[in-house]
Amino acid sequence: MKTIGILKNTVQDYAWGSLTAIPELLGQPATGSPQAELWMGAHPKAPSQVYHEGKWESLLQVIESHPTDVLGAEVAERFGGKLPYLFKVLAAAKPLSIQAHPNSHQAKEGFERENRLGISLMSSKRNYKDDSHKPECICALTRFWGMNGFRGISEIVKYLGILCGDVLKDEIALLEKQPDSQGLKFLFQSLLTMPPEKKATAISSAVSHAGSIHVPGDLSADPMFQWVRRLHAEYPGDVGVLFPALFNLFCLEPGQALYLASGEPHAYLEGVSIELMANSDNVLRGGLTPKHLDVPELLNILTFQERVPPVILPRKRSGVEWVYDTPAEEFSLSVISVFPKICWISPEKRSADILLCTRGQLVLENGPVDDPIHLFKGVSVVVPASAGEYHLYGNGVCYKASVPGPAGFMLDTRAAES
């Protein structure tokens, strides 16, 4: 594959998805069912279709047949002939599960172990769908709420004391006695394994106390109390209702992003975002879901550390491109905002790029190789490495998923007058 290809992408209809956000992006009528994620890439679970040589083909199969053409020789060798990232639009109308992702060693070990045990890849009891880790970058398209990482221990003690101090007095006392990672792990394990009656009492107490504290409706004061009530409304009886007291709540404004490394507990709560990650679907869950929970394995992969998740603001890389810097080797996310008389020019040496237009109209040119392609809201394309340099002009915005160069090799882009 040496030419730019339009993509057709799979929409995942998970129950927590929005009824309208993805249809509006794609310019399609709403189906009446929640649409949660739009997948762009070559993951075996739901590979994109690419228009190639006059017909629609699986991008996964095209890459398997032409790895050097699509990925470039260096990236094809570095990542075993596979596209190393998965690009998504995530539209959450309801909270997602509390979850974390394994590191590379844990993923390989877990995948091989479950294969040996004969657990089907399609089984709901399966933890590891592949052998890859899953660092990810989440970038808000709308105001986007979530939880990420453990709060400071003093905050956890304070909030649990307010919500259900009488019920959890022993657990709180043990955390105060051991205010470190082992204390956090013991508290987390204790909450996930509480006897049913104690769990019900703790949740009832938390919801009652959260409801008795005045919090403005716009969540501008302390959103922890309102999120306890909202999570209970969606998942009554789930221990995850208590977790806004344990985890940092965040609210990203459009254009802000977070990077989530392996082992970080998190849950996305509400909003629409761009999500770029390593090409994996490995998820260990801890609550706010009817899906499979494996508490021992989750405890094995989690990072039990106090932290404040740093918000990433984009760094200007050229006149019209801004990049979200992360330590990921598999992916790089940037946003390109082109306006009349200014043209964005790609590097000549690069791997496969996937572009998604989110606003306006753009024209993508690849010199004499391809006819110009018109991009408008919701249209995505893959630009193979063998296509070389390409240009964007017009008046619009697109997000670009790409592969970083090897250490010490910086890919430059530039803008020029058209």
Residue 405 backbone zone (phi > 0: left; psi -120 to 50: alpha; other: beta): beta
Extract the tokens encoding 230: 């909202």
Residue corresponding to tokens 């399966």: 126
CA distance 258 to 312: 6
Q: Is position 285 annotated as part of the catalytic site?
A: yes
CA distance 128 to 112: 9
CA distance 26 to 8: 11
CA distance 22 to 173: 46
Residue corresponding to tokens 């003690």: 157
Catalytic residue among 126, 151, 230, 285: 285
Extract the tokens encoding 311: 């918000």
CA distance 73 to 51: 22
CA distance 62 to 70: 8
Extract the tokens encoding 395: 């008046």
Contact 315, 333 (CB under 8 A): no
Nearest residue to 323 via CA among 335, 312, 337, 311: 335
In 329-413, the DSSP E strands lie at 332-338, 342-345, 353-365, 373-376, 380-383, 391-402
Contact 145, 249 (CB under 8 A): yes
Residue corresponding to tokens 């340099």: 389
CA distance 235 to 218: 22
Strand, coil or helix: 269: strand
Strand, coil or helix: 214: coil
Residues with catalytic annotation? 285
